[in-house]
Amino acid sequence: MTTDQETSMSVTETGATIWLTGLPSAGKTTIAYELAGRLRTEGHRVEVLDGDEIREFLSAGLGFSREDRHTNVARIGFVAELLAANGVKVLVPVIAPFADSREAVRKRHAAESTTYLEVHVATPVEVCSVRDVKGLYAKQAAGEISGLTGVDDPYEAPEAPDLRIESHQQTVQESAAALHALLTERGLA
């Protein structure tokens, strides 16, 4: 049984999860917030599930072992799917370094008939280490931390993402525009 609200839902009110994966300091969060602003201006319901905020509030207590990273991604995927199923465009700028974790999130979305798009922010580690937004690369180089994704911990880049953004070769606005174009092509914007 559908409600009047569901039957009157336009294509722009259709929810989706847009997962931005990539190395630390690749530009995932910056692109997500740029796109979120544009989508809100167009009247879309949008949420950004920032990986740092999720770790603080939803996944507090988890470490960075493979199992903990998988649990973190699964939790984020659950929340994203729930929001997307209710008409929200959910932008998820989260590293999610392991292909099997991302695939599990994709399968959960498919099982619920919720749109899931994977975007690889494919910034080379050399560029990320120069950007070093949080100082992680410097700490790793100084021996203060270990397990940095893409340096001394694995990152499995998506083989066939819905979109690959090379943020080091374009502006934030151009990256967000490319992602907006994908959403438009898929009838989501």
In-domain check, residue 40: yes
**What is the total count of domains within the chain?**
1
Q: 89 labelled as ligand-binding?
A: no
pLDDT the model gives residue 52: 87
Report the percentage of the chain scoring pLDDT > 90. 85
On whether the CB atoms of residues 96 and 19 are closer than 8 A, the answer is: yes
Instruction: Kindly tell me if the per-residue pLDDT of 96 is higher than 80.
Output: yes
In-domain check, residue 67: yes
Q: 183 labelled as ligand-binding?
A: no
What are 99's two structure tokens? 């292909």
Q: How many helices (H) and strands (E) does the chain have?
A: 8, 5
Instruction: Kindly tell me if the per-residue pLDDT of 127 is higher than 90.
Output: yes
In-domain check, residue 96: yes
In-domain check, residue 138: yes
Q: 22 labelled as ligand-binding?
A: yes
* C-alpha distances in Å from residue 99, one per residue of 70, 131, 186, 187: 10, 25, 23, 26
Q: 65 labelled as ligand-binding?
A: no
Q: 25 labelled as ligand-binding?
A: yes
pLDDT the model gives residue 11: 44
pLDDT the model gives residue 12: 61
What is the per-residue pLDDT across 2-13, written as a single tens digit (0 to 9) for each?
444 443 444 468
Determine the average pLDDT of the residues in 111-124. 97
pLDDT the model gives residue 13: 82
Is the full-model pTM beyond 0.85? yes
What is the per-residue pLDDT across 17-69, written as a single tens digit (0 to 9) for each?
999 999 999 999 999 999 999 999 999 999 999 988 998 888 889 998 999 99
What is the per-residue pLDDT across 142-170, written as a single tens digit (0 to 9) for each?
999 988 999 999 999 999 999 999 999 99
Q: 124 labelled as ligand-binding?
A: no
Q: 150 labelled as ligand-binding?
A: no
What are 52's two structure tokens? 């740092």
The amino acid occupying position 56 is E
5 or 81: whose pLDDT is higher?
81
In-domain check, residue 2: no
In-domain check, residue 4: no
- How far apart (Å, rounded) are the C-alpha atoms in residues 149 and 146? 9
Q: What is the mean pLDDT of the chain?
A: 92
Domain span at residue 158? 16-186
Report the percentage of the chain scoring pLDDT > 70. 94
Q: 27 labelled as ligand-binding?
A: yes
Domain with residue 140: its CATH number is 3.40.50.300
In-domain check, residue 108: yes
- Residue linked to tokens 């370094």: 97
Instruction: Kindly tell me if the per-residue pLDDT of 1 is higher than 60.
Output: no
In-domain check, residue 37: yes
